[in-house]
Chains A and B, each alone.
Chain A
Amino acid sequence: MKKIIALLLAAVMVFALAACANNGGSEEAKGMSESPIAEVALKADYEVPADFKIGFICLHDENSTYDLNFLNAVDKIKEALKLTDEQVIVRVNVPEGNECYVAAKDLVTEGCKIVFANSFGHENFMIQAAKEFPNVQFCHATGTKAHTEGLDNYHNAFASIYEGRFLAGVAAGLKLNEMIEAGKFTAEEAKMGYVGAFTYAEVISGYTSFYLGAKSVCPTVTMDVQFTGSWYDATEEKNAAEALIARDCKLISQHADSMGAPGACEAKGIPNVSYNGSTYESCYETFIISSAINWAPYYNYIIGQVVKGEKIDADWCGGIAEGSVVLTGINQDVAAEGTFEKIQALVEDIKAGKLNIFDTANFTVGGKAVENYKADVDTDAAFQPDTEVVDDGFFHESEYRSAPYFDLRIDGITLLNEKF
């Protein structure tokens, strides 16, 4: 009996070794590379006075990857500008309700010159506070109303994260190509899955740019999208990822804030392109790359404007050049050969303005090329399209306001459900 067990164990070990050898090409893990986008250093051409204070309002705390991303940027700017604990006040777990207005007022009473809030649903309450305190600057990430509200002290900000998602999509496409070449499936079977939170422009813009990135290197790729109806729901996100894997999706990406989808991918051995930050630590067998927004450049900008006594733009959208759009390193044990070099080259193209992500030559809607399209850019009571956004052969995302408004349903992507 013992001998049989010993034999079995030996056989298992041999298989395990063989599997490793297949997977990475060698037995040793190569780990993470550098980021293909060189880091942009935070530069401050101003001196922050000792009595300057800034307050941050976050929907959740460090446990949400979305909020963690904002909090990490707070730490970065604090270090770069040598701000003290008294100068930077952070309020976490502030719901999208009257609590946000009270928290904003409280930060003003504490002496903050700038109040920043990070969640879409905070917007109305930030505007309410902004009307009450005209001498304090209220900055809101992901909001849509600053350009129509007409307040001098209320501002929106975002980043052209679709560029980051496109690049992450390229990494996904290259991985699919590698799997096709290895004979794991045919080019026609190359299908990705995407776990989205809500069927809003922000998510649509994100998954479309991701898909276009993949398609630019793997032309036969298609994609299924499943929405969860929540920004943070680990169970729903896991279920959605598993459902997509069961539908034969060969690679998964997500736009939702828990570890649900990456965790499901790791458990099933399906490659994953992540968001908000690296999930390599817990998913080192499947993580490829992640795009994220770095908010530190925006913090640097608003603090600088206030210290210098200059106006803050109603809408601010940072890109790769500003250091607002970043990529993590690439997991060299999972990503296809040559991913790093390919992305690096594309980064240069984007910086040089040679690559438009939403180039109308690269996608169709209902089988037809898009020649013009009116988007609902102004958030008003009408909820009607109001601005022409296709011009010069591409869709002008984040130009007429910082928050995304790309909401076209392009061919090749199937929505399995919709959640508003």
Chain B
Amino acid sequence: MKKMNFHIVKREPMAWYKSVLVRAAAIVAALLVSAVVITILTGKNPFEVYASMVSGAFGSSLRIWSLLQNTAILLCISLAVTPAFKMKFWNCGAEGQVLISGLATTAVMMFLGDSLPYPVLLLVMLAASVLAGVIWAVIPAFFKAMWNTNETLFTLMMNYVAIQFVAFFLKYFVKSGSGVLAPMPEHGLPVLAGQSYLLNIIIVVALTVLVYIYLKKTKQGYEISVVGESENTAKYIGINVRKVVVRTLVVSGALCGIAGLLLVGGTNHTISTTTVDGRGFTAIMVSWLGKFNPVYMVMTSFLIVFLQRGASQVSTDFRLPSAISDIVTGIILFFIIGCEFFLQYKILSAKNRKEND
């Protein structure tokens, strides 16, 4: 029999400063590899490319606000999927849940914007978007709880339904050929201190704290962890699994609803089929990379948004196809995810293993 000549062994937890060093090393390595790739593929100076990335994210106060705003939205959606993921309910439907909430917000702004007093309008917008998000999340949860349907497929399909709903209503809302609904900033969320994105950011900071407390400090949060670790254990200690599944998805959907409200009411003031722009899926990566911890997720969502903003600046400054910046983003993420593996496991050659034994 052929023997494997290496083994993968789980590590003891590393000292915090070591793990920080490993992660920093991973990012440096990623930047070096990307630099080589950029030079080979485009012949551009990689340092200029990195400078352009940084300027794309931090180059002006507008860009910094935009960076923070996008981080807030991505973080909000990531917070929304986290309770479900922690429960090992594979909610791939955040995209649709946010979009349908955005559609509800848009409809309220369009049809009630002129007739309701502003404070009432805001409340109706909030209620409509949260309700829409909850409905979109609870439908698959209900089917899962009652008949154990596959939630991955179900939530994915709900995304397409939401996208087609938006496409359908856009035909109805917009009668000109462009199919683009004119923005309605006059019916948007209030602007604080002259900064249109400030309110979004404050709300998401508050939500981050709340979700952290909910998951770590409350009985419901504990129940989520138990159901996620082992459904049988949960049943054994008397947790009503069906109830927890549906309740958690209500939380997930409501958070997606708030994301939809912030995205449409606070940022775009209009909707299109691409308003969420894949962030419902990117959120899954943010949540996993952040190990379902809302505090870490702040950093992972910031990193991903920084890479995206920087990358789009690179493609526009150097007139490179956007594929180049996607490649760089991919390389950096690959190294970061890879280093997480090496933080948890080590590889031993067969010889070493023997000595260790």
User: Is A135 engaged at the interface, CB distance under 8 Å to the other chain?
Assistant: no
Per-position 1/0 for B307-319, Cβ under 8 A of A:
0000010011001
Q: Which residues of A contact B322 (CB under 8 A)?
A: 61, 92-93
Is A92 a contact partner of B176 (Cβ separation < 8 A)? no
Q: Contacts A63-B321, A120-B177: A97 and B63 contacting too (C-beta < 8 A)? A: no
Kindly list chain B residues whose C-beta atoms are within 8 Å of the C-beta of A105: 62
**How far apart sit A198 and B177, CA to CA, in the bound complex (Å)?**
8
Which segment, of A22-30, A122-130, A248-256, faces chain B? A122-130
Contacts from B to A (Cβ < 8 Å): 60-63, 66, 171, 175-183, 185, 267-270, 272, 274-275, 312, 315-316, 319, 321-322
Query: Which residues of chain B come closer than 8 Å to A63, judged between CB atoms?
Result: 321
CB A245 to nearest CB in B, in angstroms, measures 28
Q: Across the A-B interface, give the 7 residue pairs with the lowest CB-CB distance, nearest first.
A: A98-B268, A124-B182, A200-B177, A121-B180, A121-B178, A383-B175, A109-B60
Question: Does chain B have a CB within 8 A of A101?
Answer: yes
Residues of A within 8 A of B274 (CB): 95, 97
User: Which residues of chain B have C-beta atoms less than 8 A from A391's C-beta?
Assistant: none
- B185, A106: Cβ atoms under 8 Å? no
A: number of interface residues (CB 8 Å) = 32
What are 12 A-B contacts with C-beta separation under 8 Å? A90-B319, A92-B315, A93-B316, A97-B275, A98-B183, A106-B63, A106-B66, A110-B60, A121-B179, A124-B181, A202-B177, A379-B176
Inter-chain CA distance A124–B270, complex, in Å, is 10
Q: Knowing A106-B62, A109-B62, A383-B176 touch, does A91 contact B270 (C-beta < 8 A)?
A: no
User: What 0/1 pattern do residues 76 to 108 of A give for CB contact below 8 A with B?
Assistant: 000000000000001111011110011001100
Task: Report chain B residues within 8 Å CB of A92.
Answer: 315-316, 319, 322
A90 — which chain B residues lie within 8 A by C-beta? Answer: 316, 319
B178 / chain A contacts, CB cutoff of 8 Å: 96, 120-121, 123-124
Known contacts A97-B272, A106-B63, A109-B62; decide if A124 and B183 are in contact (CB<8 Å): yes
Contacts of A420 in B (CB 8 A): 171, 177, 179
Apart from A63-B321, A106-B62, A124-B183, what 11 extra A-B contacts exist at CB < 8 Å?
A61-B321, A90-B319, A92-B316, A92-B322, A101-B183, A109-B60, A121-B180, A124-B182, A124-B270, A127-B182, A128-B183
- A102 — which chain B residues lie within 8 A by C-beta? 62, 66
Q: Determine how close the nearest CB of chain A comes to the CB of B243; give it in whole angstroms.
A: 39
On whether the beta carbons of A93 and B177 are closer than 8 Å, the reply is no
Bound CA span A127–B319, Å: 26
Q: In the complex, what distance in Å separates the CA atom of A125 from the CA atom of B62?
A: 17
Chain B residue contacts of A379, Cβ below 8 A: 176
B176 CB contacts on chain A under 8 angstroms: 144, 379, 383
Which residues of the other chain, A, contact B316 by a CB distance below 8 angstroms? 90-93
Give the residue name and chain of the A residue nearest to B322 (CB): A93
| Chain A contacts for B275, CB-based, 8 A | 97-98
Closest to A376 in B: B176
* A96–B272 CB distance below 8 A: yes
Cβ contact of B312, chosen from A93, A97, A120, A144, cutoff 8 A: A93
A123 to B177, CA, bound (A): 12
By a CB distance below 8 angstroms, the chain B residues around A121 are: 178-180
* A residues at B contact (CB < 8 Å): 61-63, 90-93, 95-98, 101-102, 105-106, 109-110, 120-121, 123-125, 127-128, 144, 198, 200-202, 379, 383, 420
The answer for the CA separation of A383 and B319 in the assembled complex, in Å, is: 39
**How far is it, in angstroms, between the C-alpha of A30 and the C-alpha of B319 when the chains are bound?**
35
Q: How far apart are the CA atoms of A91 and B66 in the complex, in Å? A: 16
CA A106 to CA B178, docked complex, whole Å: 24
**B270 contact set on A, CB distance < 8 A:** 97-98, 124
Minimum CB–CB distance for B114 against chain A, Å = 13
User: A102 to B313, alpha carbons, bound, how many Å?
Assistant: 13
Q: Is the CB of B177 within 8 A of A98?
A: no
Distance, CA A207 to CA B1, complexed state (A): 72
Residues of the B chain whose Cβ atoms lie less than 8 Å from the Cβ of A383: 175-176
Closest residue of chain B to A60, judged by CB?
Answer: B322
Contacts of B63 in A (CB 8 A): 106
| Contact indicator A96/B319 (Cβ below 8 Å) | no
Alpha-carbon gap, A123 to B321, bound state (A)? 25
Q: Which of B275, B316, B322 has the most CB of A within 10 A?
A: B316
**Residues in chain A near residue B60, CB distance under 8 A:** 106, 109-110
Which residues of chain A are within 8 angstroms of B185 by Cβ–Cβ distance?
128
CA distance A102 to B61 in the complex (A): 12
Chain B: which residue is nearest A122 at the CB level? Answer: B180
What B residues does A200 contact at CB under 8 A? 177
Complex CA distance for A127 and B66, rounded to whole angstroms: 20
Closest B residue to A132 by CB, please name it: B185
Q: Who on chain A is nearest to B263 by CB?
A: A98
Q: Which residue on chain B has the smallest CB distance to residue A202?
A: B177
Query: What residues on B are CB-neighbors of A101 within 8 Å?
Result: 183
Contacts of A198 in B (CB 8 A): 177
State whether A97 touches B66 (Cβ < 8 A): no
Q: Check A93–B183 contact: CB distance below 8 A.
A: no
Query: In the bound complex, what is the Cα–Cα distance between A123 and B61 (angstroms)?
Result: 25
Smallest Cβ distance from A370 to chain B, in angstroms? Answer: 22
Residues of B within 8 A of A62 (CB): 319, 321
Residue from A97, A101, A120, A383 with most neighbouring chain B CB atoms (10 Å): A97
Partner of B315, one of A93, A98, A109: A93
CB contacts (< 8 Å) of B319 on chain A: these are 61-62, 90, 92
Q: Which residue of B lies closest to A198 (CB)?
A: B177
- Which residues of the other chain, A, contact B179 by a CB distance below 8 angstroms? 121, 420
B62 close to A98 (CB less than 8 A): no
Assess the A97–B268 pair: CB atoms within 8 A.
yes
Q: Which residues on the B side are within 8 Å of A98 (C-beta)?
A: 183, 267-270, 275
Across the interface, name the chain B residue whose C-beta is closest to A101: B183
Q: Tell me which residues across on chain B come within 8 A of A127, comparing CB atoms.
A: 182
Q: Name the residue on A nearest B60 (C-beta).
A: A109
CA distance A351 to B341 in the complex (A): 71
A201 vs B176: C-alpha distance when bound (angstroms): 11
Residues of A within 8 Å of B66, CB to CB, are: 102, 106
- Note all chain A residues with C-beta closer than 8 A to B180: 96-97, 121, 123-124
Hey, which chain A residues are within 8 Å of B268, CB to CB? Answer: 97-98
B320 → A minimal CB distance (Å)? 9
- When chains A and B are docked, how far (Å) is the Cα of A420 from the Cα of B175? 10
| Complex CA–CA separation, A52 to B322 (angstroms) | 28
Closest to A201 in B: B177
Give A215 Cβ to nearest chain B Cβ, in Å: 26
Residues of B within 8 A of A123 (CB): 178, 180
Q: In the complex, how many angstroms separate the beta carbon of A320 from the nearest chain B beta carbon?
A: 26
